[in-house]
């Protein structure tokens, strides 16, 4: 009898627990007015969502407008960017970078290369009007040449690796496959990142060394009107107007923009907020500027090498022949012959100069 009583009590208790659970399950959930998930994610649009739910049950448009707004909402974790649930501007960046910039930028580079070869084929290099005399004029010191070649080599490395980063996925990867493309891309990306600061420093140093001789003068306007000699000969100083345009616009302006945006992408600028939006803007600026500077650099390289007879001697040896100097920079030669400018600016027995000479001699 005692065992039967215990069994009945246990059954009644179990029945009570089941009924209580059913009652709680059927009861409506309490409304939390202060801090629900909608409050956290939708922020200021919570009121609009509640009003919309009264008139149109199931309409979550205000909620998703807030989620898709690119606005950073509150999160308690260290990564504050996690408050942006959907970064819709990322799609705009992808379409702009992989569509407009890649396509049009790629064709601009191709057209620049075709234009240079076409010009060389029909026009040919600018020849010397007079035979070489053997008399030499000092054009660049060893230190100037060292800084210039440092800038040139780093620029070429950045251009090659940068072109692979931009166009490799579309042109190279279908040929060599994903695996090899990934290996090369990883290597080139690190080379690109490490070479960038070298290029930046060389641009700044070269600017300080050459800015005095690249200041505009009245004669530059006449050189531009003559089309750089295409519509008549115009004497020039140490640097003509074309070289000055490259110095100020190509090397200095574009060079510093592409360098500074690259530093942002490398995440080494102190105090910078490296949010996705900021990095996407920096990437667009970097790629557009890089394409422009490569196009202008092609013209500079062409004129300084195969496009002009004897032009490369000044940067290789530091000296140019009298015939070349008088044909292209007669005002500069006149200033040297009159004593207005020193015939030599190369320091004698300078350790820095001697070291620069050795480095340039072995690399050019």
pTM: 0.79
Strands 319-321, 136-138: parallel, antiparallel or unpaired by DSSP?
antiparallel
pLDDT of amino acid 231: 66
Both tokens of residue 293? 């500077």
pLDDT of amino acid 28: 46
pLDDT of amino acid 66: 72
pLDDT of amino acid 271: 81
pLDDT of amino acid 253: 97
3-state helix, strand, coil split of the chain in percent (to 5) is 70, 0, 25
Residue by residue, pLDDT tens for the chain (364 residues) are 444 444 444 444 444 444 444 444 444 444 434 344 444 444 456 666 666 666 777 677 777 777 777 777 777 887 777 777 777 788 888 889 888 899 999 999 999 999 999 999 998 999 999 999 999 999 999 999 999 999 999 999 999 999 999 999 999 999 999 999 999 999 999 999 999 999 999 999 999 999 999 999 988 998 888 887 666 678 899 999 999 999 999 999 999 999 999 999 998 888 888 888 889 999 999 999 999 999 999 999 999 999 999 999 999 999 999 999 999 999 999 999 999 999 998 887 788 888 888 888 888 7
pLDDT of amino acid 272: 80
Q: Which residue has the tokens 């440092």?
A: 150
Instruction: Say which residues have a Cβ less than 8 Å from residue 68's Cβ, sequence separation at least 6.
Output: 86, 88
Which residues in the chain are classed under CATH 1.20.950.20? Answer: 89-363
Q: Distance between CA atoms of 152 and 147, rounded to whole angstroms? A: 9
pLDDT of amino acid 69: 73
pLDDT of amino acid 361: 84
CATH code assigned to 89-363:
1.20.950.20
pLDDT of amino acid 20: 44
pLDDT of amino acid 45: 61
Closest by CA to 291, choosing from 151, 136, 100, is 100
Instruction: Say which residues have a Cβ less than 8 Å from residue 192's Cβ, sequence separation at least 6.
Output: 157, 158, 161, 162, 165
Q: Identify whether the C-beta of residue 237 lies closer than 8 Å to the C-beta of residue 331.
A: yes
Angle between helices 255-265 and 276-304 (to 10 degrees): 140
| Residues paired with 137 in a beta bridge | 320
């Amino acid at each position: 009898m005692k065992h039967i009583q215990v069994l009945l009590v246990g059954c009644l208790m179990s029945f009570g627990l089941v009924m209580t659970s059913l009652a709680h399950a059927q009861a409506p959930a309490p409304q939390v007015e202060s801090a629900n998930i909608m409050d956290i994610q939708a922020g200021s649009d919570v009121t609009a969502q509640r009003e919309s739910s009264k008139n149109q049950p199931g309409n979550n448009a205000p909620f998703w407008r807030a989620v898709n707004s690119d606005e950073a909402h509150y999160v308690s974790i260290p990564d504050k960017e996690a408050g942006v649930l959907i970064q819709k501007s990322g799609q705009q960046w992808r379409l702009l970078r992989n569509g407009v910039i890649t396509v049009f930028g790629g064709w601009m580079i191709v057209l620049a290369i075709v234009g240079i070869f076409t010009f060389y084929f029909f026009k040919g290099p600018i020849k010397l009007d007079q035979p070489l005399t053997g008399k030499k004029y000092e054009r660049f010191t060893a230190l100037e040449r060292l800084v210039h070649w440092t800038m040139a080599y780093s620029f070429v490395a950045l251009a090659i690796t940068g072109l692979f980063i931009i166009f490799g996925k579309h042109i190279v990867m279908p040929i060599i496959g994903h695996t090899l493309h990934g290996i090369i891309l990883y290597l080139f990306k690190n080379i690109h990142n490490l070479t960038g600061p070298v290029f930046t420093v060389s641009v700044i140093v070269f600017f300080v060394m050459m800015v005095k001789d690249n200041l505009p003068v009245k004669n530059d306007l006449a050189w531009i009107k003559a089309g750089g000699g295409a519509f008549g000969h115009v004497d020039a100083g140490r640097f003509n107007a074309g070289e000055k345009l490259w110095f100020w616009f190509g090397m200095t302006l574009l060079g510093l923009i592409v360098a500074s945006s690259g530093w942002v992408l490398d995440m080494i600028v102190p105090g910078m907020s490296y949010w996705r939006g900021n990095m996407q803007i920096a990437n667009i600026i970097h790629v557009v500027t890089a394409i422009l500077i490569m196009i202008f650099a092609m013209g500079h390289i062409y004129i300084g090498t195969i496009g002009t007879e004897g032009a490369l001697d000044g940067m290789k040896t530091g000296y140019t022949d009298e015939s070349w100097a008088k044909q292209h920079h007669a005002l500069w030669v006149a200033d040297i012959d009159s004593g207005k400018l020193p015939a030599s600016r190369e320091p004698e027995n300078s350790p820095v100069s001697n070291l620069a000479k050795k480095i340039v001699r072995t690399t050019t």
